[in-house]
């Protein structure tokens, strides 16, 4: 978490400006710079500004992780079919309310050997403004749904929208979760053009990349089909996020 040193630096700058009789505009510039950094740190999970998230794997091998958010949905079986066809395991960060809606699909994800992660109960659009207590409730209730529907417990957690702040950091710590980010973001929920999504993902690939996709549309499913062919042609293997955690524990 990088925000504590930055806050101290910001306070030091204010004291320095005061000591040398800095003007109002200098204070204002420092304040807006501080606000910009905080907002940037809140929305860019790779910075680790509020929460130290795992965003990639340090490896010399050509391997990547496929991760899917916001499911299960009516489209998830198509994704599972593709993954099964290519004998690939992925990591699914599931929303509690979606699990309640599609329990059989959730159970299929588990039965086919994929890794499960917590993506909160409701994936609220106001996630960044929730209290620590409310965030803890969101995470714990999703855990409860997972336990009831699939008899499974996970320590993996992905913040909705990749948003982090002190309340979310506290919730992650109190629920004993490990925050999982990414370093290849497909933007498949924003971009409509499949070719653009595909190029964005393949262009950003590196050894150990964690790829963010969503199992929420046929569009992304078609992108996945092409991506799996690309990975095979380029001789990339795949890993699931939990194997990184287990590997670190054994080191």
**Could you give the residue numbers annotated as active site?**
69, 214
- What's the first-to-final CA gap in the chain, in angstroms? 23
Of 111, 250, 196, the residue nearest 92 (C-alpha): 111
Q: What is the DSSP string of 120-137?
A: -SS--TTGGG--HHHHHH
- H/E element, 156: strand 156-157
Contact between 196 and 156 under an 8 Å Cβ cutoff? The reply is no
70: alpha, beta or left? (left if phi > 0; alpha if psi -120 to 50): left
């Amino acid at each position: 978490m990088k925000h504590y040193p930055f806050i101290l630096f910001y306070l030091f700058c204010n004291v320095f400006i005061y000591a040398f009789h800095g003007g109002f505009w200098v204070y204002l510039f420092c304040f807006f710079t501080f606000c910009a950094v905080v907002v940037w740190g809140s929305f860019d999970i790779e910075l680790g500004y509020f929460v130290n998230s795992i965003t990639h794997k340090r490896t010399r091998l050509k391997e990547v992780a496929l991760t899917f958010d916001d499911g299960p949905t009516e489209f998830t079986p198509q994704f599972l079919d593709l993954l099964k066809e290519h004998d690939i395991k992925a990591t699914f960060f599931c929303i509690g309310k979606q699990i309640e809606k599609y329990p059989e699909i959730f159970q299929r994800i588990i039965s086919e050997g994929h890794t499960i992660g917590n993506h909160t109960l409701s994936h609220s659009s106001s996630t960044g403004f929730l209290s620590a207590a409310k965030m803890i409730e969101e995470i714990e209730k999703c855990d409860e749904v997972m336990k009831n529907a699939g008899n499974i417990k996970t320590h993996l957690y992905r913040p909705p929208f990749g948003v982090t702040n002190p309340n979310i950091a506290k919730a992650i710590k109190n629920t004993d979760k490990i925050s999982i980010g990414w370093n290849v973001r497909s933007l498949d929920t924003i971009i409509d053009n499949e070719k653009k999504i595909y190029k964005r993902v393949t262009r950003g690939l590196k050894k150990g990349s964690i790829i963010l996709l969503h199992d929420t549309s046929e569009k992304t499913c078609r992108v996945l089909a092409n991506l799996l062919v690309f990975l095979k042609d380029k001789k990339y293997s795949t890993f699931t996020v939990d194997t990184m955690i287990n590997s670190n524990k054994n080191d």
